[in-house]
Amino acid sequence: MNSAISLVCRRAGCSGQIPSGLSAEQLCLNHFLDEAFVRTEQSLEACHNGSPLNQANLEWVLSDALAVVKNLEDSADAPNPEQRDRMLELLLVIANLHEYLAHHSVPSHRPA
């Protein structure tokens, strides 16, 4: 039996398929993008307000989210045009965040 692996998004009420590049996140592409936008925007907002950054969030955005988007861009699970637009938009927001961090030193904290 091989039923331990769920191929459906873990968000309640969502039956979206999980693309192979997202099996670690257990999210469909739409919910993954939602999550990525929320976390990226929280990080940018913290930068602009000078409030402490959630380091775990930031690392997830700059490593995991970026890797997934790049991966999906060239994968066989080609997203539809609308999803592709959101992915490109996400890359742009991540690039802004990256740029900001490269030029400012921001306080950060690690959750215990």
Residues forming the site for Zn ion (CB under 5 A) = 9, 11, 14, 16, 28, 31
Query: From the CB of 92, what's the least distance to Zn ion, in Å?
Result: 23
The residue among 17 and 96 lying less far from Zn ion, judged by its C-beta, is: 17
Give the DSSP H/E element, type plus range, for residue 32: helix 29-49
Query: What residue is closest to Zn ion based on CB?
Result: 9
Query: From the CB of 60, what's the least distance to Zn ion, in Å?
Result: 18
Query: From the CB of 52, what's the least distance to Zn ion, in Å?
Result: 30
Q: Which amino acid is at 33?
A: L
Distances (CA, A) of 17 to 30, 37, 41, 69, 89: 10, 20, 25, 16, 22
Instruction: In whole angstroms, give the CA distance from residue 63 to residue 77.
Output: 20
Query: From the CB of 12, what's the least distance to Zn ion, in Å?
Result: 9
User: Which ranges constitute the DSSP H helices of 50-80?
Assistant: 55-59, 66-73
The residue among 9 and 47 lying less far from Zn ion, judged by its C-beta, is: 9
